[in-house]
């Protein structure tokens, strides 16, 4: 296909953790704002209906695949003659919850990607998926990458040379200011730099522009299996990046909710970087590594406790209502 220039918008939200109704309203308003600015590709962040934290109530915050989140995406796509996407906790017909990114066009829902692996305390609330993360929308191949999917070489390999643009988003949280304070402040400075680096780096590895939405705002919750509490913020970093890694538009967490918007060339190009043999594309550091393992162990037990295994007859199908009739 001939390269197409598209005005793309990466939404940054300050969502209320667990407040689905308020977040749906907020998401709709921000999509409308981006459309008024002329955007025709509009991306909402990961978990745009709930945000993410270790908040047990999130176990009951999942929506059906044909529910309010998908309806909002499809409605705004029709209303604004745009392509609109975002991810949410989705409870499928098999009883399991997945982190589902749905992409809608003016003609309806184009497709869905389920994030491959939950990150840290996300394991409490959903299970991973296994699709290739490529959605055809009117002849344009969109690759989807959510948060720490942007950190893994398997994501770069499945999308490399196969997609015309990458869409997705993050709910990336900060390192808390625990003692020794100076050490944790240094860890957080590195964490913030990493959160801003992964989207443009993936574009260079895959050979496609990236539209990466994000969450900002404060965050407080319990820590799993610990007397400590967590207080921090979402790292933000809504970005629109060219295939060569240039950041065309960015919104930091300090700027709060809003829209990062820029024109992209929707076309696959020769990747500029080589995918490494390692599992991770970027170093996680000792704290990220420790949290990955201990919170995964806790989260899988928590999920089994709060999401009873569905009957075998039901569990054979992910969703009886896909694509949803919205």
CA distance 233 to 191: 12
Farthest-apart Cα atoms in the chain, separation: 57
Name the 3-class secondary structure at 27.
helix
CATH code given to domain 4-315: 3.60.110.10
pTM of this prediction?
A: 0.95
316 pLDDT more than 70: no
- The predicted-structure confidence for 50-94, as pLDDT tens digits, reads as follows 999 999 999 999 999 999 999 999 999 999 999 999 999 999 999
The residue extents of the domains of the chain are: 4-315
Confidence category of residue 308, pLDDT binned at 50, 70, 90: confident
Confidence category of residue 317, pLDDT binned at 50, 70, 90: low
Please work out, in degrees rounded to the nearest 5, the angle formed at the alpha carbon of residue 259 by the alpha carbons of 258 and 265: 170
Could you tell me which of 163, 167, 148 has the C-alpha nearest to residue 280?
148
Q: Cβ contacts of residue 12 below 8 Å, gap of 6+?
A: 45, 213, 214, 215, 216, 236, 238, 251, 255, 256, 257, 258, 259, 260
In the block, tokens 């197409």 appear at 4
Confidence category of residue 318, pLDDT binned at 50, 70, 90: low
pLDDT for the residue numbered 4? 87
- The predicted-structure confidence for 90-147, as pLDDT tens digits, reads as follows 999 999 999 999 999 999 999 999 999 999 999 999 999 999 999 999 899 999 999 9
pLDDT for the residue numbered 138? 87
Q: Is 279 exposed, middle or buried (0-12, 13-18, 19+ CB in 10 A)?
A: exposed
């Amino acid at each position: 296909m001939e390269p197409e220039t598209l005005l793309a918008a990466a939404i940054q939200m300050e969502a209320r953790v667990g407040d689905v109704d308020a977040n749906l309203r907020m998401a709709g308003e921000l999509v409308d704002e981006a459309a008024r600015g002329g955007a025709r590709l509009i991306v909402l962040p990961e978990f745009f209906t709930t945000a993410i934290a270790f908040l047990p109530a999130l176990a009951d915050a999942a929506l059906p695949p044909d529910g309010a989140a998908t309806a909002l995406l499809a409605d705004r796509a029709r209303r604004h003659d745009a392509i609109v996407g975002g991810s949410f906790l989705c409870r499928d017909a098999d009883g399991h919850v997945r982190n589902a990114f749905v992409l809608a066009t003016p003609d309806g829902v184009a497709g869905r990607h389920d994030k491959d692996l939950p990150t840290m305390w996300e394991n409490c609330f959903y299970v991973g998926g296994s699709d290739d993360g490529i959605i055809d929308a009117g002849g344009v191949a969109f690759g989807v990458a959510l948060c720490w999917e942007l950190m893994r070489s398997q994501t770069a390999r499945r999308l490399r040379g196969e997609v015309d643009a990458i869409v997705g988003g993050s709910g990336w949280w900060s390192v808390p200011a625990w003692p020794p304070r100076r050490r944790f402040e240094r860890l957080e400075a590195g964490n913030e730099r990493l959160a801003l680096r992964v989207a443009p780096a993936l574009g260079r590895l895959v050979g496609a522009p990236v539209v990466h939405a994000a969450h900002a705002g404060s965050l407080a919750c319990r820590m799993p299996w610990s007397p400590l509490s967590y207080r921090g913020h979402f790292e933000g970093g809504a970005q629109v990046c060219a295939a060569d890694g240039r950041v065309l538009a960015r919104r930091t967490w300090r700027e709060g909710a809003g829209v990062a918007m820029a024109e992209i060339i929707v076309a696959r190009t020769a990747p500029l970087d080589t995918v490494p043999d390692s599992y991770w594309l970027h170093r996680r550091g000792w704290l990220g590594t420790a949290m990955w393992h201990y919170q995964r162990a806790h989260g899988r037990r928590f999920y089994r406790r709060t999401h009873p295994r569905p009957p075998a007859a039901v569990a054979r199908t992910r969703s009886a209502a896909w694509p949803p009739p919205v």
